[in-house]
């Protein structure tokens, strides 16, 4: 009978359905909840006094206006409600550009498919709202695909440039011969085997490019729109990150100096800014995932060396290597000296089935696993995952799948 106590507790933790992926997901959910609570606390402390003061000033202004011009408060409030309805419809005191001509409609659909959604223009008809649902469904999906493809190409471009710089440094230091060419027979030089750019370097380059782009766009908005520079930077971040509050919106006046050139520059800045910030967010997400993995490792079960010893012994018994079938009987006898039966040993190791059952049920899978492990041992890239817990999404989904094995921190060789 297996001993109870530390080994039993360790076994229960190992057999629990909370695997590493689920643990990472729950930990991230807890961190996001804490992050939201902290952000709400800070913004409430910063903005709540200003909101209360603005409401007090408005009430004072309203009463003074009612008293001076001898207008009752109900009539004044009814007029203000009509004004708010006109604001929602896009009507302003100053002349603005038409909202639903072709340039205005193009600006609107651009904010829809990019998920910016400023909110300054919304469809008012039932047909327009129904069409927006269908249009946004495919438009947003296609734009996300475009962002992912842009991410793939910018990561590939940065990796190519950084690897060329790395080769140049190796050539200067004498570790590479002067006549070295990529893809030649000397491509197996130890300094270049498995080399991939670091996520920190990629994040630094994307961050510098995003800051430079935001500063240039802010200078243009400050000059053309008449905003101060801080408001322009704020608008760039809100727009490029697709938050899109709508309190500041560019290219809304009826007439601008060099209007065609400004609208083209506005389109290019928004397009490049959204793509760049999207790529930067995904690179930062890798660092957050590394942090979650580090936290999860701190919670690994290390309290029971006996369990680790037994699981390591059982793991060696079930290893699929050339000649393992001939040595299986001898290793099984060594393991059976520690456990009363093979079933009991499997329970202690957390295995679901024995290797004997696996071989009997699927000999083709066994051959694939043997070939895969042999290739791994000889240094060939792994194309088939041997972890039975993983599925078709084990390499990641979306942007994480695109960056899989392209950076040093996402490489399988780490």
- Residue 25 pLDDT: 86
pLDDT, averaged per 10 consecutive residues of the chain (414 residues), comes to: 50 54 87 92 91 92 91 90 80 75 89 88 89 94 92 88 85 72 48 72 93 96 95 95 90 87 94 94 90 84 51 45 45 46 45 48 49 48 44 54 64 54
- Residue 39 pLDDT: 92
Helix (H) or strand (E) holding 215: helix 199-225
Helix (H) or strand (E) holding 166: helix 126-173
Q: What is the DSSP letter of 156?
A: H
- Residue 212 pLDDT: 96
Alpha helix (H) ranges present in 69-125?
73-88, 102-113
* Closest CA relative to residue 14, chosen from 293, 316, 295, 301: 301
169-216 pLDDT per residue, tens: 888 887 766 666 554 444 444 455 667 788 888 899 999 999 999 999
**Is there a contact between 331 and 337 (Cβ–Cβ < 8 Å)?**
no
- Residue 297 pLDDT: 85
Rounded to the nearest 10 degrees, the angle between the axes of helix 324-336 and helix 342-349 is: 90
**Is there a contact between 386 and 373 (Cβ–Cβ < 8 Å)?**
yes
Residues of the chain with CATH 1.10.287.70: 95-171+196-302
Whether the CA torsion 225, 229, 234, 236 is positive or negative: it is positive
The pTM (predicted TM-score) of the whole model is 0.66
- Residue 20 pLDDT: 77
Q: 145-154 contacts: CB < 8 A, separation 24 or more?
A: 147/274, 147/275, 147/278, 147/279, 148/398, 148/399, 148/402, 150/275, 150/278, 150/279, 151/275, 151/278, 151/279, 151/282, 151/399, 151/402, 151/403, 152/402, 154/206, 154/275, 154/279
**CATH architecture, domain defined by 95-171+196-302:** Orthogonal Bundle (1.10)
E strand map for 43-98: none
* Closest CA relative to residue 281, chosen from 197, 205, 200, 206: 206
What is the number of other CB atoms lying within 10 angstroms of the CB of residue 411? 13
Q: Which whole-number Å values give the CA distances from 383 to 48, 194, 394, 412, in the listed order?
A: 55, 15, 12, 11
- Residue 97 pLDDT: 76
Round to whole Å and give the CA distance between 267 and 265. 5
Rounded (5°) CA angle 266-271-276? 125
- Residue 405 pLDDT: 60
Alpha helix (H) ranges present in 299-339?
305-317, 324-336
Q: Which residue has the tokens 């952000």?
A: 39
Q: Which residue has the tokens 């842009």?
A: 150
User: In a 3-state reduction of DSSP, which class is residue 269?
Assistant: helix
Q: Which whole-number Å values give the CA distances from 349 to 7, 8, 66, 310, in the listed order?
A: 11, 11, 81, 7
Q: 97-100 contacts: CB < 8 A, separation 24 or more?
A: 97/251, 97/252, 97/253, 97/254
- Residue 160 pLDDT: 87
Question: In the beta sheet, which residues pair with residue 96?
Answer: 253
Round to whole Å and give the CA distance between 225 and 235. 12
Q: Which residue has the tokens 């560019």?
A: 250
Round to whole Å and give the CA distance between 111 and 121. 10
């Amino acid at each position: 009978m297996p001993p109870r106590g530390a080994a039993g507790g360790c076994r229960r933790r190992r057999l629990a359905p909370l695997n590493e992926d689920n643990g990472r997901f729950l930990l991230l959910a807890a961190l996001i909840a804490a992050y939201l609570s902290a952000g709400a606390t800070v913004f409430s402390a910063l903005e709540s006094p200003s909101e209360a003061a603005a409401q007090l000033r408005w009430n004072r202004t309203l009463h003074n206006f009612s008293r001076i011009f001898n207008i009752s408060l109900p009539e004044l409030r009814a007029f203000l409600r009509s004004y708010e309805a006109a604001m929602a419809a896009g009507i302003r005191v100053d002349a603005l550009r038409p909202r639903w001509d072709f340039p205005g409609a193009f600006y609107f659909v651009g904010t829809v498919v990019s998920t910016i959604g400023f909110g300054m223009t919304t469809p008012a008809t039932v047909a327009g709202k129904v069409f927006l649902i269908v249009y946004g469904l495919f438009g947003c999906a296609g734009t996300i695909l475009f962002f992912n493809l842009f991410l793939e190409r910018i990561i590939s471009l940065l990796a190519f440039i950084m690897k060329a710089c790395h080769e140049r440094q190796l050539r200067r230091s004498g570790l590479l011969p002067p006549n070295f060419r990529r893809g030649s027979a000397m491509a197996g030089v130890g300094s270049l085997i498995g080399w991939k750019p670091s996520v920190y370097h990629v994040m630094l380059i994307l961050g510098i490019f995003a800051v430079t782009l935001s500063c240039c766009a802010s200078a243009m908005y400050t000059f053309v729109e008449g905003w101060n520079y801080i408001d322009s930077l704020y608008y760039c971040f809100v727009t490029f990150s697709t938050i899109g509050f709508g309190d500041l919106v560019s290219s809304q006046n009826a007439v601008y100096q060099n209007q065609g050139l400004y609208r083209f520059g506005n389109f290019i800045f928004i397009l490049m800014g959204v793509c760049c910030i999207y790529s930067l967010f995904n690179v930062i997400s890798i660092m957050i995932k590394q942090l979650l993995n580090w936290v999860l490792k701190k919670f690994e079960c290390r309290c029971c060396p006996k369990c680790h010893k037994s699981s390591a012994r059982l793991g060696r018994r079930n290893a699929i290597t050339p000649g393992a079938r001939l040595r299986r009987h001898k290793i099984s006898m060594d393991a059976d000296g520690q456990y009363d039966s093979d079933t009991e040993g499997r329970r202690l190791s957390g295995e679901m089935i024995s290797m004997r059952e696996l071989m009997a049920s699927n000999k083709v899978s066994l051959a694939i696993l043997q070939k895969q492990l042999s290739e791994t041992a000889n240094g060939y890239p792994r194309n088939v995952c041997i972890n039975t817990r993983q599925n078709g999404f084990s390499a990641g989904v979306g942007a994480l799948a695109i960056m899989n094995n392209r950076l040093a921190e996402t490489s399988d060789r780490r």
